[in-house]
Chains A and B, each alone.
Chain A
Amino acid sequence: MNRPHLRELFDAALDLAADERAAWLVRQCPDAALRAEVERLLAADAAQSAHVIDGRVEQLLDAVGEIAAPMPPAGTRIGGFLLHEKLGEGGSSVVFRASREQAGVTQFVALKVLRRNLYTVDEQRRFRDERRALSQLQHPGIARLVEGGITEAGTPYIALELIEGEPLLDHVRRAQLDLAARLRLFVGVCRAVDAAHHALIVHRDLKPSNVLVTPQGQVKLLDFGIAKLLDAEAGIDSTHTAQAPMTPAYAAPEQFQRGQITTATDVYSLGVMLGELITGQRREAGDSRTPSSQLEDTAVPGALPAPPVRMRRMLRGDLDNIVLQASAEEPRRRYASAGALADDIERHLRDQPVSAHPPSRWYRASKFVRRHRGGVVTSAALLIAVAAALGIALWQGRIARHSAQRANAMRDFMVEAFAEAKPGAPRDGAPRITDVVSQAIAKARADGAMNRAVRTELIAQLGAVLLAQADITGAREVLQWNYDEARARFGDDDALVLEAGTPLSEALVLAGDYSAARVLVDTLLARVPAADKKRAAELRQRSAHLANRGGDYRRALAEAGVALDLARASGNRQSLQQAMIYLANQQLAVGDIAAATAMLEESVALVEREFGPVHLKMAETRALLSRAYRRGGDLARAETQIRSALAIVDAVLPPDHADRAYYLNALTLLLIRQRDFEGALAAASEGLRINRAAVGDTHTDVGNDLNSVGALHAMLGDYAAAVPPLRESTRLAEESLGSPHVETALTRTNYGDALARSGEVSRGEAEIRAALAQYEALPQRDFEQEAKAWEKLARLRLERGEPVTALELLTWLDAALTNVAAASAYWDGRAAALRANAVLLQGDTAAAIALLDTAALAQSRSNDPHVELATEIALLRAVAAKRSGRADAAQRRDDALQRLEQLRHAPAQLRAWGRELGDAAAAQP
Chain B
Amino acid sequence: MMPNSSVPAAPRDEAPEAWFEAVYDRLKELAHRELSRGSRGTLDTTALVHELYLRMNVREELTFEQAGQFFVYASRAMRHLLINRARDRVRQKAGGDWVRITLSAAGDLPAAVESAEQALAIEEALERLEQEDARAARVFELRYFAGLDAGQIAQILGVTRRTADRDWRYARAFLLTTLT
Q: Mark B72-113, 1 if CB is under 8 A from A, else 0.
A: 000000100110011011001000111111111110000110
Q: Are B42 and A58 in contact (CB under 8 A)?
A: yes
A556 to B85, CA, bound (A): 75
Contact A62 B43 (CB under 8 A): yes
Of the 9-residue stretches A43-51, A208-216, A640-648, which lies at the interface with chain B? A43-51
Complex Cα distance, B95 from A396, in Å, reads 60
Complex partner residue of A41 from B33, B115, B174, CB under 8 angstroms:
B174
Interface flag for B5 (CB, 8 Å): yes
* Cβ contacts under 8 Å, B99 to chain A: 70-71
Indicate if the CB atoms of A56 and B45 lie closer than 8 Å: yes
Chain B interface size, under 10 / 10 to 19 / 20 to 34 / 35 or more: 35 or more
Which of A409-417, A734-742, A806-814 lies at the interface with chain B? Answer: A409-417
Distance in Å: Cβ of A54 to nearest Cβ of chain B: 8
Residue A57 lies at the interface, judged by CB distance under 8 Å to chain B: yes
- Chain A residue at minimum C-beta to C-beta distance from B91: A67
> B3 touching A232 by the CB < 8 A rule?
no
Chain A residues, CB < 8 A from B101: 67-68, 71, 89, 115
Q: Indicate whether B127 reaches chain A with its CB closer than 8 angstroms.
A: no
Indicate the size class of the contact surface on chain A.
35 or more
The complex places the Cα of A72 from the Cα of B97 at a distance, in Å, of 11
In angstroms, Cα B105 to Cα A91, docked, is 11
B159 at the interface (CB under 8 A from A): no
Instruction: Give complex CA distance A554, B147 in Å.
Output: 74
A610: interface (CB < 8 Å): no
Contacts of A360 in B (CB 8 A): none
Of the residues A57, A62, A245, contact of B78 by C-beta under 8 Å:
A57
**Contact of A64 with B by CB under 8 A:** yes
Please state if B172 and A245 are interface contacts (CB–CB under 8 Å). Answer: no
Which A residues are CB-close (under 8 A) to B45? Answer: 56-58, 61
Stretch with Cβ within 8 A of B (4 or more), from A3-11, A197-205, A657-665, A844-852: A3-11
Which of A63, A121, A245 touches B36 (beta carbons < 8 Å)? Answer: A245
The main secondary structure of chain B at its interface with chain A is helix
Residue of A nearest to B55 (CB): A236
**Residue of A53, A64, A92, A233 with most chain B CB atoms under a 10 A cut-off:** A64
Would you call B149 an interface residue if the criterion is a C-beta within 8 Å of the partner chain's C-beta atoms?
no
**A408 CB–B CB distance under 8 Å:** yes
- Least CB distance from B83 to A in Å reads 10
B133 contacts chain A at the CB level, 8 A cutoff: yes
* Inter-subunit contact A63/B106 (CB<8 Å): yes
Q: A51-B176, A61-B82 in contact; A67/B102 too (CB < 8 A)?
A: yes
Which of A448-456, A758-766, A821-829, A854-862 lines the interface with chain B? A448-456
Of A66, A119, A120, A405, the contact of B104 (CB 8 Å cutoff): A66
Does A248 sit at the interface, judged by CB under 8 A? yes
B166 at the interface (CB under 8 A from A): yes
Across the interface, A405 reaches (CB within 8 A) one of B9, B78, B166, namely: B9
Q: Is B157 an interface residue (CB 8 A)?
A: no
Q: How far is the CB of B63 from chain A (nearest CB, A)?
A: 8
- With the chains together, A91 CA to B32 CA distance in Å? 12
* Known A45-B173, A60-B118, A449-B6; contact A7-B133, beta-carbon cutoff 8 A: yes
Residues of A within 8 A of B78 (CB): 57
Assess the A65–B104 pair: CB atoms within 8 A: yes
A73: Cβ under 8 A from any B Cβ: yes
A44 touches B173 (CB 8 A): yes
Q: Which of B4, B43, B59 has the most CB of A within 10 A?
A: B4
Contact A61 B6 (CB under 8 A): no
- Among A7, A63, A91, A449, the residue within 8 A (CB) of B115 is A63
A68 touches B103 (CB 8 A): yes
From the candidates A62, A66, A412, name the one contacting B60 in the complex (CB within 8 A): A412
B5, A451: Cβ atoms under 8 Å? yes
C-beta contact mask, B23-50 vs A, less than 8 Å → 1, else 0?
0010001011101101010111100000
With A61-B31, A65-B102, A91-B38 known as contacts, the answer to whether A408 contacts B60 (CB < 8 A) is: yes
Whether A49 contacts B36 in the complex (CB less than 8 A), given A11-B166, A64-B115, A65-B89, comes out as: no
With both chains docked as a complex, state the minimum distance between the C-beta of B2 and any C-beta of chain A, in angstroms.
Answer: 5
Given contacts A14-B169, A57-B78, whether A62 and B106 have CB atoms under 8 Å apart is yes
Q: Are A450 and B36 in contact (CB under 8 A)?
A: no
The docked-state distance in angstroms from the alpha carbon of A54 to that of B44 is: 15
The yes or no answer to A52 lying at the interface (CB within 8 A) is: yes
Is there an interface contact between B173 and A409, defined as CB atoms closer than 8 Å? no
Docked-complex contact B4 and A454, CB < 8 angstroms: yes
Do A44 and B145 touch (CB < 8 A)? no
- Name 29 interchain pairs, CB-CB below 8 A, sorted by A: A7-B132, A10-B173, A14-B166, A14-B169, A42-B173, A53-B140, A53-B176, A57-B144, A58-B42, A61-B43, A61-B85, A62-B42, A62-B105, A64-B85, A64-B89, A64-B112, A65-B85, A65-B104, A70-B98, A70-B99, A89-B101, A91-B36, A116-B32, A232-B29, A405-B60, A408-B60, A409-B2, A412-B3, A413-B2
Additional 7 contacts, C-beta under 8 A, given A66-B32, A66-B104: A45-B173, A51-B179, A58-B43, A67-B85, A70-B98, A70-B99, A447-B2
User: Top 7 nearest A-B pairs by Cβ distance?
Assistant: A65-B104, A63-B115, A58-B43, A70-B98, A44-B176, A451-B5, A44-B173
